[in-house]
Amino acid sequence: MTVTVSAAGSGLVERAANGDPRAVARLVTLVENGAPGLRELTAELVAHAGSAAVVGITGAPGVGKSTVTSALVSAYRAQDLRVGVLAVDPSSPFTGGALLGDRVRMQDHATDRGVFIRSMATRGHLGGLAWATPQAVRVLDAAGCDVVLVETVGVGQSEVDVAALADTTLVLLAPGMGDGVQAAKAGILEVGDVFVVNKADRDGADQVVRDLRSTVRLAERGPGDWRQPIVSTVAARGEGIDELVEAIAAHRTWAAGSGEAERRRVRRARDEIEAIAVTDLRRRFAGLHGDERLDDLARDVLAGELDPYAAAEKIVAAVS
């Protein structure tokens, strides 16, 4: 049965803004499922959102993203900040749900009412995030989270959508992962605001740090540009996490002063608008299959009376 936003009960956004975890969970489910009435719900959420710091966490499998995320939650809670976590996982081929379920790896925070953790399935969406992740971030923002941590699937160097969503993007690497730095140079290293060498107690960690420093040094920058710091951590023991929190704060301060924070948030809103518009157009075009108008235009193209571009323009005009 399809659940509409109105059927979810009145005052849902208000209850979430007051810290009701059930209301927050319900809202995330509604945006994740694209429930009817989502437009009205989003209008309510926008009025409450806009203050959370969004931190993206990405990297190859095995570098310890969930462990670092959990350690960051502890560090921010020590500052009495409310924290939201969106852990994006591959989809189960059987249920369509999140395959790994990062909440299992963050049980230390399960009973903390100042922390909201949600696993989200990609549902086939590429780029390391789920389609509904931006809307879910807005829900946690509106629910009063001071910091929202977004952990990506992390399956390769093309998983860089998080950079468009986050105010600060952390790229995690670890020793013993093969030629990780070289493999990432063409992809995720270009989107990192802070580089994190996790599992720094292992052999080869110093070499990873040196390689990263060389990469950062070679990057072209102008006066006042951000130079990515490299932070070594052993997240399982909480080592280096305070330095990581400081690096994130330093980047946020720089971004606010340089105007980069505003530019990123405008770009984020622009990308969301574009995604909604494209989705709506796809829905409209889907209704053209079997439409006689499309068949007539196809015959005109075959007869040489129209070229394909002119025919496409007619279709676009018809669904606009």
pLDDT digits (tens, 9 = 90+) for 21-51: 999 999 988 888 877 777 888 888 888 888 8
Joined together, the tokens standing for residue 18 give 């007051």
Q: What is the mean pLDDT of residues 223-233?
A: 92
Instruction: Answer whether 177's CB lies under 8 Å from 212's CB.
Output: no
- pLDDT 10s digits, 69-113: 999 999 999 999 999 999 887 544 434 444 454 455 567 787 888
Rounded CA separation 96/19 (Å)? 28
Rounded Cα distance between 29 and 257, Å, is: 36
What per-residue confidence (pLDDT) applies to 90? Answer: 57
Identity (one letter) of the amino acid at 267?
R
Residue type for position 186: A
pLDDT over 70, % of the chain: 80
How many angstroms separate the first and last alpha carbons of the chain? 31
Give backbone dihedrals phi and psi of 56, rounded to 5 degrees, phi first.
-95, 140
Which of residues 108 and 68 earns the better pLDDT score? 68
H or E, element range at 202: none
What three-state secondary structure class fits 115? strand
Contact indicator for 169, 146 with CB cutoff of 8 Å: no
User: Which of 2-16, 111-125, 143-157 has the highest average model confidence (pLDDT)?
Assistant: 143-157
* Cα–Cα distance, 211 to 213 (Å, whole number): 5
User: CA 180, CA 60: separation in Å to the nearest integer?
Assistant: 8
**What pLDDT sits at residue 96?**
45
Range with top average pLDDT, 124-133, 231-240, 272-281: 231-240
Region class of 154: left (phi > 0), else alpha (psi between -120 and 50), else beta: left
**What is d(CA 135, CA 130) in angstroms, rounded to the nearest whole number?**
10
pLDDT at residue 178 is higher than 80: no
**What pLDDT shows up at residue 286?**
72
At residue 6, the 3 state secondary structure works out as helix
